[in-house]
A and B are shown apart, each in its own frame.
Chain A
């Protein structure tokens, strides 16, 4: 009954990726390593059947205890396990955010136990990642996340934010690892996941346009989707109350604009939830996208708050391009004269940016600032010619006085422990 791991016959064309996936997956559920599994396979064929019937009887009597015995439970009360801190100190592998002030320039800087945070490390054969003294229990994990957000991500720093991001991203990944090994679920996870998702969404906007070696939007996206998925699963399985669920369902819709799967999932939520203002707005925006009505979409987008705009922002370039494409066809005629100012208003950009966008798409703007749409002229801008960052005004205007702390911790009063 207690197959803590299920097995799947796999065959990879790329052995590297296979191993990588295997490790991260086994890490996720604390699976036994390969060798152990083969043995269990044999057992299964020979005797498990009998054992199962016996076990089933015992289980009826004490289900909970048996389960708890098998799941690793962390006991580490600090953000970084003592052993790891010692090791990294000795190997000179501390991050400067973790060093004791004044020792940074030493040959072997000292670690600051109040600022060191457990780092992410790949699971490896023979390495036991389930030692309780290395695992942090839920309250410590939440404390760690709050530290990372408030004291690192939101704090003024001498270092560029790309570095701040990389550090926080890695340490959050280690938090996730601890959560998985300990099979955390439900309400314990929600607080942590919510903050992580907000952070990554904000980062996707703030670091947009940074060079690839400093920030890779694809990697951010992959992890963000995983966290978001997990968070939405938590909402589904544990009955509420989930005070922030409305916020995150709508963020999911906006981040995944146009995804039929996300929309279908949303449509199946209870009516009461679906009718909340944020989700409704996100649904309308998605509908405008599916109906190919960028005018409506950009207008509705004005109503979004800053973080929601961050979630949506990567799609806005596509929407604007789409508008130019559709108008190139709809207004295509020799005598076409469409005022640039009017177009700028529709795109929610200033006139000069609008002209720049038109140029990138092959759309002609004459000397009287009139746009001459022509279906033959429109061309998809080449890769890398459109710099999203230049067109961030829709979001930046909303940021105004908001601090990073406001953004990531936002309406989280109820989650504070």
Chain B
């Protein structure tokens, strides 16, 4: 592979296409394959050669791919990205023409994956040069794409109405990537259940992979609400349980994280637990990533992780947080959060961990209740407890507010009597277990 001539390469591509060998064709177009390091293929102008051997649009596709290898050999990811875009677009033309067959799916996976990677690298390269702006038009563009996706999906003919949208010049890479991905999704025609194609031949099999790619982008650019239509689409698909385990784990991971963001912790726990349990034992790194999000959710539901677990996955940042929450120790919680602030912020869980404050208050106040052994607790007692935890800036008014909120949320069963300055709790189960409170 690393030494074949351009003619031999093109011949192999031609045969792969002719024989509908999706996986092999994918290899010949993938940057994971050694052929990309072959200098004989890194041509500046391969178009003529390609045209001699291949039919359109495959000739354009492969020509762009070869130019891409040239660019990558020169470490120019900006150029590489541009050419990879052409690869995907040419591929789409071909894909569209494959009526009722899906042998080219592996090719789609390969070229879209490389597209995303180059988009990332290109942006980084630009950032280093001092160009590249955070993209705002991305949201608008992707929004419009999703509208398109919806309309096209329900309309069987691929009716792409092309309009001009202006995009920030410097960051059009990520945006362009999304537009290419959406083009592919549009072709998948997911709402066409009971389609002419049999299930094995359906292009629907590409849906989860593509959605996962899109999720990665949306999370990176912090526009999570854009995940919703994709989730809806997969949910309504009859194939959702039949995708490969790897794809399902990735999918559940992102959907779980989205649920976390929406404060739907029960759902988040369900999805992230699935991802964690089904993630292969050998992928320690992935398991750790899932755990970073699963832990806060479990803690909010009252389940603290064991020391062993934290040590096993190298997540000791959570150990002080865990201790603080169980003990109702607000001081320690604040210290723990600020000590590992950078890590928590980078992972995007800092704000969720702050929600643990409410749980911490609940645990602290439960201790007060257990200590005083009465159902009529003076408000002063809570104030004293807080002062002992070095919480200085809370006064009796705020204590009442905190208690009222805990009652409203169902963490405490009872009521406050302002006249008697007491919290009167129910004689039965005044502090219901955290997991029972939504």
Question: What is the interface of chain A, defined by CB distance below 8 A to chain B?
Answer: 1, 3-13, 18, 21-22, 25-34, 37-38, 41, 44-45, 49-50, 52-53, 56, 183, 185, 229-230, 233, 236-237, 260-261, 263-265, 267-268, 287, 290-296, 323, 325-327, 329-333, 335-339, 342, 346
Residues of A within 8 A of B401 (CB): 293-296, 323, 326-327
Instruction: State which of B86, B159, B354, B398 has its C-beta within 8 Å of the C-beta of A49.
Output: B86
Closest 3 interchain pairs by CB?
Answer: A330-B404, A29-B166, A11-B148
Stretch from B33-41, B109-117, B132-140 forming part of the interface with A: B132-140
In the bound complex, how far is the Cα of B419 from the Cα of A208, in angstroms? 38
Give 21 CB contacts A-B under 8 Å: A6-B165, A7-B162, A8-B163, A8-B175, A9-B160, A11-B152, A11-B159, A13-B147, A25-B140, A25-B166, A32-B164, A37-B164, A44-B86, A230-B136, A260-B351, A295-B400, A326-B405, A329-B407, A330-B404, A330-B407, A339-B418
A377 CB → nearest B CB, Å: 14
A10 and B165 form a contact (CB under 8 A): yes
Residues of A within 8 A of B100 (CB): none
Residues of B within 8 A of A326 (CB): 401, 404-405, 408
Residue of B nearest to A334 (CB): B415
Residues of B within 8 A of A268 (CB): 345
Q: Is B252 an interface residue (CB 8 A)?
A: no
B341 CB → nearest A CB, Å: 8
Instruction: State which of A21, A25, A236, A325 has its C-beta within 8 Å of the C-beta of B134.
Output: A236
Residue of B nearest to A229 (CB): B136
A4, A41, A49, A325, most chain B CB atoms within 10 A = A49
Q: Is B151 an interface residue (CB 8 A)?
A: yes
Residues of A within 8 A of B169 (CB): 4, 29, 183
In the bound complex, how far is the Cα of B135 from the Cα of A229, in angstroms? 10
B172 and A3 form a contact (CB under 8 A): yes
Q: Is B208 an interface residue (CB 8 A)?
A: no
Residue of A nearest to B357 (CB): A291
Contact with A along B262-291 (1 / 0, CB 8 A): 000000000000000000000000000000
A13 and B405 form a contact (CB under 8 A): no
B179 and A7 form a contact (CB under 8 A): yes
A329 and B145 form a contact (CB under 8 A): no
In the bound complex, how far is the Cα of B337 from the Cα of A267, in angstroms? 13
In the bound complex, how far is the Cα of B161 from the Cα of A229, in angstroms? 29
Residues of A within 8 A of B242 (CB): none
Residues of A within 8 A of B402 (CB): 293
Residue of B nearest to A48 (CB): B86
Question: What is the interface of chain B, defined by CB distance below 8 A to chain A?
Answer: 44-45, 47, 60, 63-64, 67, 79, 82-83, 86, 132-134, 136-137, 140-141, 144-145, 147-152, 159-169, 172, 175-176, 179, 182-183, 186, 222, 261, 345, 348, 350-351, 354-355, 357-358, 397-398, 400-405, 407-408, 415-419, 424
B422 CB → nearest A CB, Å: 11
A22 and B163 form a contact (CB under 8 A): yes
In the bound complex, how far is the Cα of B165 from the Cα of A27, in angstroms? 9
Residues of A within 8 A of B144 (CB): 8, 10, 12, 21
Instruction: State which of A8, A49, A260 has its C-beta within 8 Å of the C-beta of B83.
Output: A49
In the bound complex, how far is the Cα of B169 from the Cα of A248, in angstroms? 25
In the bound complex, how far is the Cα of B165 from the Cα of A30, in angstroms? 10
Residues of A within 8 A of B137 (CB): 25
Residue of B nearest to A332 (CB): B415
A6 and B45 form a contact (CB under 8 A): no
In the bound complex, how far is the Cα of B136 from the Cα of A32, in angstroms? 21
B131 CB → nearest A CB, Å: 9
